[in-house]
Amino acid sequence: MTDTQNHVCARCAAESGTCCTLEPGLEEYCFPLSAEERAAMEEAGARERHFCRQANTSAFVDNLCRLFGAEAGRIRALFPASGFHDRLAVTKAGACALLGRQGCRLPRSARPYYCRLYPFWIRDGRQLYFQFSQCMAQKEAAGTAALLSSLGLSNADILDLYQRLRRAWALPENA
């Protein structure tokens, strides 16, 4: 994490709760954690209270299928309707249990891949980013290059994180 990112994320955490906060009641849409991610988080200091076991609801699985496009079959196999997955715990107000006044309490290297990628994603081989009206970095950046810079990321970093996320879920790397 760069000084710029610390500054932007810290200001955002103090003002708006950041992208690490969701509307109460929407917890089922939190991105799942792989065993690899959970282990890295625990090694960095996360405790049981920072995790939540969540049923694989149809809304959750459908949302993942939208994110992964043509790989819906693989996603449905990974998250069967009768199963459960781990996700980040949130407070009653909807904030991630690891969110502090200066942003995430975990070092960047121990955060879940989705958190490190956000607001970026790869879809059909193309890099894109989710528009989030409360994202201070997006408000202050003029375009993708400036957003990457403000978050201390490069195009190569985005692709690498996305491929790591895919490997953690045993998805092929080249999609």
Contacts of 68 (CB under 8 A, 6+ apart): 74, 75, 171, 175
Name the residue with tokens 């959970």. 38
Reported as a pLDDT band with limits 50, 70 and 90, residue 86 is very high
pLDDT exceeds 70 at position 56: yes
What is the mean pLDDT of the segment spanning 53-66?
Answer: 96
Reported as a pLDDT band with limits 50, 70 and 90, residue 4 is very low
Per-domain boundaries in the chain: 3-168
pLDDT at 6: 53
Using N-to-C axis directions, what is the helix angle for 155-168 and 35-43, rounded to 10°?
A: 110
Convert 149-169 to b/e letters by CB count within 10 Å (16 or more is b). bbbbbeeeebbebbbbbbebb
pLDDT, tens digit, 9 for 90 and up, residues 96-139: 999 988 788 999 999 999 999 989 999 888 898 888 777 888 88
Name the residue with tokens 């490190």. 116
What's the pTM?
0.89
Question: Which tokens hold the place of 9?
Answer: 């994320």
Reported as a pLDDT band with limits 50, 70 and 90, residue 17 is low
Lowest mean pLDDT of 22-26, 118-122, 170-174, name the range. Answer: 170-174
